[in-house]
Structures are given as C-alpha cells and as structure tokens.
C-alpha cells in the first residue's frame, strides 16, 4: 500500500466509525419504549379509519377508536342484553310501543356543554339516516325530546329489535352535540366530541390518533359488564398508531414501541407466546368466516345449487387453512355465538356435511352443466384468500368449474356491487346484538348477495315484533332453520382474534372488540 | 444561463402534461371504489350510490378529468376524500419525513460510497478492489426492505437499541429524529451507496487511463494529488448523475421501506391512498414526484458547469 492508500483507508475507517458512532450515540439516551415515564398507552391498529364519525361508516377501525370518545344511549352487558348507558333507565309502555329514556343527570360533553335530550334526538335522527340497521328498525319511529332530560321513541308496532339496534356497536347510534351535527350537514362531523372516557386530541395522518383522558367523565353506575357499567380512563393518553404492515406490528410490540397490537398474524403466535415481555390473548367471540352467494343472478340464484355446495363443504378443512392452529377457531353452525342468549340449535345438521356424493347428486338434479363459478377474493385479508383456495378445491372435486379471481380489497368491494361479475365472495361477520341485524338475511337491507326470501323477511318481522324474548327466540329458531335450508351464505366457522400486549399492560378487555378503558400501563 | 434555465423549465410542461394524463387514466381504469372503502364492507348498495354521487364519482371519466385539470391549472390539486384536507396540505404534511429520510440516506450513501469507489479504483485488480466490489454488488442485489426487516430484528427486537418503527419530527429533537430514521436510512443508503460506489470506480478507472494522468505521474506528483486533484474531478460528472438519480428516486418516496418502518412520508401516502382509491391524492403525489424528478435533474445539469467548465449549457 502506498501512503495515499493508507490515508484513504484511514479516511474510510473514520467515516465508518462516525456512521456507526452516530447510531450508537443516541442509544443511551433512548429507553426502548420511548416514554416509559409517561402514563400513555400505545396501541398498533391495523388500518387507518376512513373517519371517526361513527354514524357514517361500518368500518371496524372507526369503532375501535370511536367508542372511546363517544357513548351510546343504551349498550350491552356481558350477556349481550341491552342496558342503559347515557340513559338512566329504559321505560317501556305496557303496549310495547313507547320507549322512554330519562337521561343521567349532570353529564357533559367534552366541549363542556350539558348533554340534553335535544342532542340525543339530533344524534339518533342522523344515525337513522345513515345506518342500515337504523333505517330498518327505527324508520317508522318518532323520536322526540319530552323535556330537557327525557327522550321518547314511539313505534307504530311493538318491536324487540329497537333496543338492540340502538346498542349495536358498529356504525353505532352514538350521541354527539346537536350543534356539531347541524354544522356537519350531509358531510362528516368536523369535531369529534362525545361524552366518553377519552376525548379526541389529534389525528396525524398516517401516524396516529391521539385521545386523552376526559377529566369530567361520569361513568354509568355498576361494575363493568360487557360495554356497560364502570368505565374509567386509567392512562393519560392513548395513541392509536396506524400500522398496516403485520410484521411491523409484531416487531414494534416486541421492541416496546407499542404496548398493544391488534390483528396479529396467527403464525406469530408461538414466537410471541415465548417472549417473556409479552402477554398473548385469544379473544372470542369475535367473528365468523363465511362465503356469500350471488343469489340475484347466475348459477346460485338456484337454491338447489347452493345446497349442493353446502353439502360438499368441510368446515374443518377451511378453518384449519385459515387459522393454522385449533386455538384460533371453533366449528359452529350458529348465526349467533354460543355465549349469547340468542343461541339456538336449529339447522345444525346441515352444517359441515362433508358429503361430496350428495353434492354431486344435488348438482345433477339442479341441471348443472359445467358453467364457471367465479370466486372473487383478496389477499389483503389472509383468511379470505386461504378459505377461497380451499373452497375452489372443494368445488372442483364435485365437478364444478371454478375461476378464482384475486384482487386488492377495494376492487373486491367495487366488483361485488355488480351481480354480473361474481358468484361467490368470502367475508367475515362480527358479533350482532340481535340476530335480525345479520346483514344478509333481510332482503330490505339490500346487501351484496341480494338474498330475497319473502318467507325469511316475514319470519324476521315476526321475531322483531315478538313481545318477549322467549317468543322472539322461537322465531329465531325458524329463521336459522330456514337459513340453513336456503343457504344464501355458508358459515365456515368462528374465527378468534389474536391480540397481544406488553406485560405491563393490565385490564384491556375484549367484548365485541377491544376496549382500553379500565386499562393501565406500568 | 438564465435563458437555459427558463428553457428547461418550459420543457417541464409537456412532461407534466403527459404525466397528468397517463396518471389520471391508469388510476381511474383501476377497478375499486372509494365509496365502498369509506362506508366499510357492510354498507348497502343504496348508500354506496348516494356517496358516489356526492363525491362526483358517477360523472363520466372525461368530466372528472376536466374538473381535475381545471383545478390543477388554478394551482388546486384537489381534495382528499379520506383525509378531508386539500391534497397540497396532505403532500406538505408527508414531505418532511421523506426529505429527512432522503437526505440522511443520501449522505450515508455518498460518505461510504465515494471512498470505497476511489480505493477500489486506485487498487484495481487487487483483493481490496475485488472485495469492495463484491460488497457493492451485494448491496445492489439485496432489497432494502429485507435489510430493513433484519435491522429491525437485530437492533430493535433483539438488542432493543433502536425503535422498531415510527417517526419523530425534527422539532422533537435531533437525537429523537435520527433515532427513528437511522435504520431506514442505512437500509436505503446501502443500495444507493452501492450504485454510487460502482459508478465512482468505473468512472475513475476510465480517467486514470488518460494521457494527462500519465503526464502527472511522470512529473512525479503523489498518488493522492493525482487521484483527488486531477482524476476525481474529471471523473465526477457520471458520479454526479447517479447521485442525482438516486436522490430523485428517493424523494418520490421509498414506498416499501416507508411501509416497513411505518414512516409517514410520501411513499406511505401513495400506498395508503392507492389502498383507499383516494384518486386526488395519488394524482397529486405522482405529479409532485414528477416535478421533483425534473427539477433535480435540472439542478444536476447546472452543477455540471461548476464541476467541468468545458460543459457549455447555453448552446
């Protein structure tokens, strides 16, 4: 080496040292989890919500953030029974047509304004305008403020579906101040102001949504039960980080960048379970995986062909492909979960038949001649793609011709609106408070798949108009039996939710989805 | 000189026109429906149709293009239906992280690559040259997101030295800022640095074969003076071009790296907007990237003159 070369080599060494040193020098001052001295909770969510205006969207992420800020007039306890929330009590007239909700005293919105009956009326009217379930159940009702603290809902016929609709968490009937609603017009609300234990602070696009403890919060009386009872903000701030990449959520949780992470891939279960800093949770009931038939046009307008497919399905095989290990799924026929009061056994024999011979016979009877079945699905949600692959195989084994079309999720959403483009798509359904809320059963919801059975609609109305739970449940037995008879949708099985926190996070409860009130970080 | 710059800026217009049209057409020919994403998967057809009308998505594509173009010509890039803010604001908010990341990655790349390339050229054919160039080849071949993921596993998960993902603006302190950026910057810098190192070596080798270098050697000048004073400056134009190109690519958003490290930059903005079919944002961000690309190239062209007076621009 010449002198020059030595000099240059020295230069490189210095440069490398400098670069490495830069990385190193910031370490001592940087405790891994960032702000451990602060009483903040950092949660990694899977996607960015379209808005936090809960009246306007059915998106799950909106609810995951929104219900920390907003509250419902009534809500559900751990048995999924409707109980008061902002209302002090629920009074039902003897004829079952008038519902009176006196409000709890002294409640204030995050902007300092008193909660009045006018705010509740304005909120419920706005919610009814946008929510499918709201329209279906509350449309014929008159909603009025009897006085400053009392809301009255009057129906032309008695309905057991009204209270569950008001308590349904997704696209929920949350209460906002009247002036915020007036200001919004047809658009989204400009300010997110509710009565919940946390108040909205800031939304940094593509980074996080910050909420802080609401000092003036008044919890409903009684112990915590489901979404009802005592709710308390035990941290100063919650940061909902928007982290679409699942590997990043896992790594961020392990390194302490996040205290809790949602929607974790099931294949990281073993790794996270072994990590001494992590607590894993398998949450249920969460959702069920289903395939939806296009019953409006094409092959599956014919119920017999749908029955043929149902005869062939091996639910175990689908769910195993979806969830990997048995810890994450459960085979069950019910349109409601067995934890719920509505759970019934009807139609059970038609679930998980694994009978390809019967399927072939039914197909032949229905006159199937090899017309192609188009399954549209997406890799954006792992479970959809995996179940579609198993389904394709199952259908081919009974002699059907199958095209599997894989798109990104927005494309699937737009294609499924056109009945000429698909035969089957896969999706998941969340817990309902009352089974007539199930989207695909009622033709008047006009949801993708377009199942239209006057018999089913009549049964659903019978159920909704039942004067008591006992009769309503009897009607639901018939609903579920008819569902498995006409199979507009085939339920594969229940899929549990995989959730994990750092060891220092205590009290994060799962009910329908995750709640971070009553949660501490130490 | 001024005339030259003006001319170059005028050349921008046809480029941007092409970008605008192609950009718009491709995005709108892609299936997908922002209304369905906004309202969620449980929304009904009726609600979807209503929202589409409200958003102007039911207009024919030429009408939508006309609307958009009219806005752009008036300096209005449009409105993000998701973020409920103007596209310019959205881009502005996401520009900071990308600029920081780009600068840091570029500095790391140059600081490592130039000396590597020079030493390799000066020791052509020796084991030093060969091992440096093997390293550079590795750097080009390994995707930066893979390096990034391994960095996360090592420095964040195992050693717990650095945060796994996220971003802190410069206003929260330089150390904090760098702590979040160093891993993504190094993983991007490796790739860019490898390109620059290879270009430095080959460009320098070419110059080292010139007659005037032999003359300098014959005059008895030291190796150091020959390389740094006579050779490197003459070899620098192609190197500068590569630096400019890598810079322009990075400023358009390191899409995958920004996603892996959850950095709220332009790349992340484009990805989330594509996932949501937030048309105006995608169009605006791509247009912005095109402008940046052309402008950076202009700056590089102007720098040629500074480095090499033989280059005359005004012709």
pLDDT over 60 at A439, yes or no: yes
> DSSP letter at A236?
S
Distance CA B198, CA B192 (A): 10
Phi, psi of A192 (to 5 degrees): -95, 95
State how far the Cα of B154 lies from the Cα of B138, in Å rounded to an integer: 19
Select from A15, A244, A445 the Cβ nearest to the Cβ of B112. A15
- Cα–Cα distance for residue pair A55/B310, rounded to 1 Å: 67
Q: Quote the pLDDT of residue A235.
A: 96
Tens digit of each residue's pLDDT (9 = 90 or more) over A18-63: 333 333 333 333 333 444 468 999 999 988 888 899 998 888 889 9
**Quick check: A202 pLDDT over 90?**
yes
Q: Are A325 and A500 in contact (CB under 8 A)?
A: no
**C-alpha count within 13 angstroms, C-beta hemisphere, residue A309:** 32
In 3D space, the residue among A10, A8, A22 whose CA is nearest the CA of residue B114 turns out to be: A8
Instruction: Share the mean pLDDT of chain A.
Output: 89
pLDDT for the residue A409: 83
- Alpha helix (H) ranges present in chain B? 2-29, 34-39, 45-55, 61-73, 87-122, 127-141, 144-151, 174-208, 211-219, 223-225, 232-251, 255-260, 266-276, 279-307
In which band, very low, low, confident or very high, does the pLDDT at A445 lie, cut at 50, 70 and 90? confident
pLDDT for B314 equals: 52
Distance from CA of A378 to the nearest CA of B (A): 12
Q: Are the Cβ atoms of A241 and B42 closer than 8 angstroms?
A: no
Q: Where residue B11 falls among pLDDT bands split at 50, 70, 90?
A: confident
H or E segment to which residue A315 belongs? helix A315-323
Instruction: Please report the ipTM that was assigned to this predicted complex.
Output: 0.82
Name the phi and psi angles at A125, rounded to 5: -65, -40
A28 in contact with B, Cβ within 8 Å: no
Closest to B115 (Cβ–Cβ): which among A11, A56, A446? A11
Residues of A in contact with B36 (CB under 8 A): 410, 413-414, 417
Interchain contact B198–A (C-beta under 8 A) = no
Contact A32 B161 (CB under 8 A): yes
Q: How far apart are CA A120 and CA A145, in angstroms?
A: 8
Cβ distance of A247 and B269 shorter than 8 Å? no
Q: Where are the beta strands (DSSP E) in A90-227?
A: 91-92, 98-102, 142-147, 150-154, 198-204, 208-213
> How far apart are the C-alpha atoms of A401 and B296, rounded to whole Å?
54
Q: Is A243's CB within 8 Å of B175's CB?
A: no
- Put simply, whether B255 touches A (Cβ < 8 Å) is no
pLDDT digits (tens, 9 = 90+) for B58-104: 888 888 888 888 888 888 888 888 888 899 999 999 999 999 999 99
**B115/chain A closest Cα distance in angstroms:** 6
Amino acid A227: pLDDT: 94
How close, in Å, is residue B143 to chain A by CA atoms?
Answer: 16
Contacts of B245 (CB under 8 A, 6+ apart): none
pLDDT of residue A21: 35
Of A195-204, A301-310, B1-10, give the lowest mean pLDDT range.
B1-10
A255 contacts in B (CB within 8 Å)? 152, 156-157, 160, 163-164
Confidence of residue A15 (pLDDT cuts 50, 70, 90): very low
Q: Are A160 and A469 in contact (CB under 8 A)?
A: yes
Q: Is B110 exposed, middle or buried (0-12, 13-18, 19+ CB in 10 A)?
A: buried
Instruction: List all residues of chain A from 178 to 207 with a beta carbon under 8 Å from chain B.
Output: 186, 188, 204-207
Total residues found in chain B within this entry: 315
- Determine, for residues B43 and A11 on separate chains, whether the beta-carbon distance falls below 8 Å: no
Nearest 5°: the CA angle B133, B136, B140 is 140
Q: Which residue of A has its CA nearest to B114?
A: A12
Region class of B198: left (phi > 0), else alpha (psi between -120 and 50), else beta = alpha
For B228-271, write each residue's pLDDT tens digit.
888 888 888 889 889 988 888 888 768 888 988 999 999 989 98
> DSSP strand E in A259-366: where?
260-261, 278-293, 329-330
Task: For strands A401-407 and A372-378, give the pairing.
Answer: parallel
| Secondary structure of residue A186 in the 3-state scheme | coil
Give the closest residue to B152 by CA, choosing from B188, B192, B184.
Answer: B184
CA distance A71 to A69: 7
Q: What is the pLDDT of residue A25?
A: 33
Residues A410-432 as b/e (b if ≥16 CB within 10 A, e otherwise) read bbbbbbbbebeebbbbbbbbbbb
Please name the residues between 265 and 294 in chain B that touch chain A, using a CB distance below 8 Å.
268-269, 272, 275-277
Query: For residues A86 and A117, is the Cβ–Cβ distance under 8 A?
Result: no
Is pLDDT of A4 > 50?
A: no
Q: Give the nearest chain A residue to B33 (CA atoms).
A: A414
Backbone angles phi and psi of B26, in degrees to 5 = -60, -45
CB B239, CB B224: distance < 8 Å: no
Helices A469-486 + A454-464 axis angle, to 10: 160
CA distance B275 to B269: 10
Which chain B residues are Cβ-neighbours of A18 within 8 angstroms? 111
Cis? peptide before A87, omega within 30° of 0? no
Token pair, residue A411, equals: 């494309």
pLDDT, tens only, B114-134: 999 999 988 888 998 899 889
User: What's the pLDDT tens digit per position in A390-416?
Assistant: 999 999 999 999 999 998 888 888 888
Residue A152, min C-alpha distance to chain B (Å): 27
Q: What confidence tier does B19 reach under pLDDT thresholds 50, 70, 90? A: confident
- Rounded-to-integer distance, Cα A463 and Cα B165, Å: 50
A8–B93: do the CB atoms touch at under 8 Å? no
Strands A82-84 and A74-76 come out as antiparallel
| Lowest mean per-residue pLDDT among A57-61, A377-381, B3-7 | B3-7
Per DSSP, A72 falls in state B
Cβ–Cβ gap A204/B264 under 8 Å: yes
Listing DSSP states for A210-229 in one string gives EEEE-TT--PPSS--BTTBS
Percentage of chain A with pLDDT > 70?
93
Contact at 8 Å (CB) between A346 and A478?
yes
Residue B35: predicted pLDDT:
83
List Cα–Cα distances, B130 to A511, B195, B227, in angstroms.
Answer: 61, 16, 19
Tens of pLDDT, residues B179-217: 999 999 999 999 889 999 999 999 998 888 888 888 888
pLDDT at position B3: 80
- Report the distance separating Cα A461 and Cα A456, nearest Å: 9
Phi-psi sector, A57: left (phi>0), alpha (psi -120 to 50), beta: beta
Contact B119 A60 (CB under 8 A): no
Q: Convert the pLDDT of each residue in A251-279 to its tens digit.
A: 999 999 999 999 898 889 999 999 999 99
Question: Which residues lie across from A242 on neighbouring strands?
Answer: A45
Whether the CB-CB separation of A293 and A350 falls below 8 Å is answered with no
Q: CA–CA separation, A426 vs A387, rounded Å?
A: 8
B261 to A59: CB separation less than 8 angstroms, yes or no:
no
Task: In whole angstroms, give the CA distance from residue B123 to residue A382.
Answer: 52
Whether the CB of A220 is below 8 Å from some CB of chain B: the reply is no
Q: Which of A60-74, A334-348, B220-234 has the lowest mean pLDDT?
A: B220-234
Q: What is the pLDDT of residue A17?
A: 38
pLDDT digits (tens, 9 = 90+) for B271-306: 888 888 888 899 999 888 888 888 888 888 888 877
Measured between CB atoms, which of A24, A245, A251 is closest to B156? A251
A206 to B272: CB separation less than 8 angstroms, yes or no: yes
Residues 322-381 of A with CB under 8 A from B: 380
State pTM to two decimals.
Answer: 0.85
- In chain B, which among 88-147 make CB contacts under 8 A with chain A? 90, 93-94, 108, 111-112, 115-116, 118-119, 122-123
Mean pLDDT to the nearest integer, A482-508: 95
How many angstroms separate the CA atoms of A350 and A359, rounded? 12
- Highest mean predicted confidence (pLDDT) among A121-130, B141-150, B218-227: A121-130
pLDDT at B313: 59
User: Min CA distance, A322 vs chain B (Å)?
Assistant: 20
CB contact (8 A) between residue A257 and residue B268: no
Interface test with A, best of B27, B30, B44 (most A CBs within 10 A): B44
**Cβ neighbours around B114 below 10 Å, total:** 22
Considering only the beta carbons, identify the residue of B30, B161, B165 that sits closest to A251.
B165
Cα of B178 to nearest chain A Cα, Å: 8
Buried b (16+ CB within 10 A) or exposed e, A332-350: bbbbbbeebebbbebbeeb
Tell me the nearest-neighbour CA distance from B159 into chain A, angstroms.
Answer: 9
The minimum CA-CA distance between A2 and chain B, rounded to whole Å, is 8
A-facing residues of B in 38-97 (CB < 8 A) are: 38-48, 54, 82-85, 90, 93-94
Best mutation target, A28, A40, A248, to test chain B (most B CBs within 10 A): A248
Task: Give the residue with greater pLDDT, A185 vs A211.
Answer: A211
Nearest to B115 among A8, A186, A409 (CB): A8
Taking an 8 Å cut-off on Cβ atoms, the answer to whether A50 and B37 are in contact is: yes
Among A8, A257, A407, whose Cβ lies nearest the Cβ of B164?
Answer: A257
Q: Is residue A1 over pLDDT 90?
A: no
């Amino acid at each position: 080496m010449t002198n020059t070369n030595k000099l240059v080599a020295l230069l490189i060494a210095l440069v490398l040292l400098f670069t490495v040193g830069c990385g190193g020098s910031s370490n001592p001052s940087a405790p891994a989890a960032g702000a451990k001295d602060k009483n903040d909770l950092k949660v990694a969510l899977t996607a960015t919500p379209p808005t936090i205006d809960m009246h306007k969207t059915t998106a799950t992420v909106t609810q995951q953030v929104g219900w920390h800020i907003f509250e419902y007039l009534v809500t559900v306890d751990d048995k999924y029974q409707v109980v008061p929330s902002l209302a002090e009590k629920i009074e039902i007239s003897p004829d079952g047509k008038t519902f009176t909700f006196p409000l709890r005293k002294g409640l204030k919105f995050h902007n300092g304004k008193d909660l009045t009956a006018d705010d509740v009326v304005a909120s419920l009217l706005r919610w009814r305008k946008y929510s499918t379930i709201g329209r279906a159940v509350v449309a014929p009702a008159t909603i009025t403020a009897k006085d400053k603290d009392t809301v009255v809902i009057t129906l032309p016929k008695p309905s057991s579906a009204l209270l569950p609709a008001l308590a349904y968490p997704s696209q929920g009937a949350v209460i906002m101040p009247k002036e915020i609603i007036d200001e919004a017009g047809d658009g989204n609300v400009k300010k997110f102001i509710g009565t919940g234990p946390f108040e909205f602070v800031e939304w940094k696009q593509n980074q996080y949504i910050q909420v802080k403890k609401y000092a003036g919060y008044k919890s409903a009386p009684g112990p915590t039960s489901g979404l009802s009872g005592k709710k308390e903000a035990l941290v100063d701030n919650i940061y909902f980080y928007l982290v679409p990449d699942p590997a990043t959520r896992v790594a961020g949780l392990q390194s302490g960048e996040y205290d809790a992470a949602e929607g974790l891939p099931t294949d990281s279960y073993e790794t996270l379970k072994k990590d001494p800093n992590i607590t894993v949770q398998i949450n249920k009931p969460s959702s069920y995986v289903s395939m939806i038939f296009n019953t409006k046009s094409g092959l599956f307008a014919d119920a017999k062909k749908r029955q043929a497919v149902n005869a062939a399905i091996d639910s175990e095989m689908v769910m195993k492909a979806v969830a990997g290990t048995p810890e994450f799924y459960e085979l069950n026929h019910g349109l409601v979960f067995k934890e719920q009061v509505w759970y019934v056994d009807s139609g059970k024999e038609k679930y998980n038949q694994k009978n390809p011979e019967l399927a072939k016979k039914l197909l032949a009877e229905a006159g199937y001649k090899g017309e192609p079945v188009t399954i549209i699905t997406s890799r954006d949600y792992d479970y959809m793609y995996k179940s579609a692959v198993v389904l394709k195989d199952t259908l081919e084994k009974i002699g059907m011709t199958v095209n599997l079309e894989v798109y990104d999720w927005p494309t699937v959403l737009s294609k499924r609106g056109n009945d000429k483009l698909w035969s089957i798509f896969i999706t998941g359904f969340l817990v309902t408070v009352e089974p007539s809320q199930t989207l695909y059963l009622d033709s008047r919801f006009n949801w993708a798949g377009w199942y239209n059975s006057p018999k089913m609609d009549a049964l659903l109305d019978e159920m909704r108009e039942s004067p008591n739970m006992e009769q309503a449940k009897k009607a639901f037995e018939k609903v579920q039996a008819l569902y498995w008879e006409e199979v507009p949708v085939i339920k594969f099985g229940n899929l549990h939710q995989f959730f994990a926190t750092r060891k220092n996070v205590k009290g994060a409860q799962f009910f329908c989805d995750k709640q971070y009130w009553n949660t501490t970080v130490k | 000189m001024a005339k030259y710059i003006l001319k170059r800026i005028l050349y921008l217009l046809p480029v941007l026109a092409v970008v605008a049209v192609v950009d718009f057409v491709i995005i709108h020919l892609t299936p997908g429906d922002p209304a369905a994403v906004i309202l969620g998967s449980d929304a009904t057809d009726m609600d979807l149709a209503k929202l589409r009308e409200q958003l102007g998505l039911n207009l024919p594509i030429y009408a939508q293009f006309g609307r958009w173009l009219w806005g752009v010509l008036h300096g209005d890039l449009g409105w993000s239906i998701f973020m409920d803010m103007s596209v310019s604001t959205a881009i502005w908010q996401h520009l900071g992280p990308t600029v920081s990341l780009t600068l840091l990655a570029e500095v790391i790349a140059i600081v490592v690559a130039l000396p590597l390339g020079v030493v390799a050229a000066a020791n052509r054919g020796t084991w030093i040259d060969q091992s440096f160039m093997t390293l550079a080849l590795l750097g080009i071949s390994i995707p930066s997101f893979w390096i990034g993921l391994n960095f996360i596993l090592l420095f964040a998960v195992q050693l717990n030295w650095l945060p796994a993902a996220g971003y802190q603006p410069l206003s929260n302190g330089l150390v904090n800022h760098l702590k979040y950026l160093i891993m993504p910057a190094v993983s991007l810098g490796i790739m860019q640095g490898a390109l620059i190192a290879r270009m430095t070596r080959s460009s320098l080798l070419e110059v080292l074969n010139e007659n005037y270098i032999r003359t300098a050697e014959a005059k008895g000048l030291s190796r150091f003076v020959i390389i740094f004073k006579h050779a490197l400056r003459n070899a620098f134009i192609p190197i500068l071009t590569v630096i400019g190109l890598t810079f322009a690519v990075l400023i358009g958003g390191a899409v995958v790296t920004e996603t892996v490290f959850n950095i709220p930059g332009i790349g992340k903005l484009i990805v989330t907007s594509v996932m949501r079919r937030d048309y105006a944002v995608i169009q605006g961000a791509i247009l912005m990237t095109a402008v940046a690309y052309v402008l950076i190239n202009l700056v590089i062209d102007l720098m040629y003159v500074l480095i090499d007076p033989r280059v005359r621009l005004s012709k």
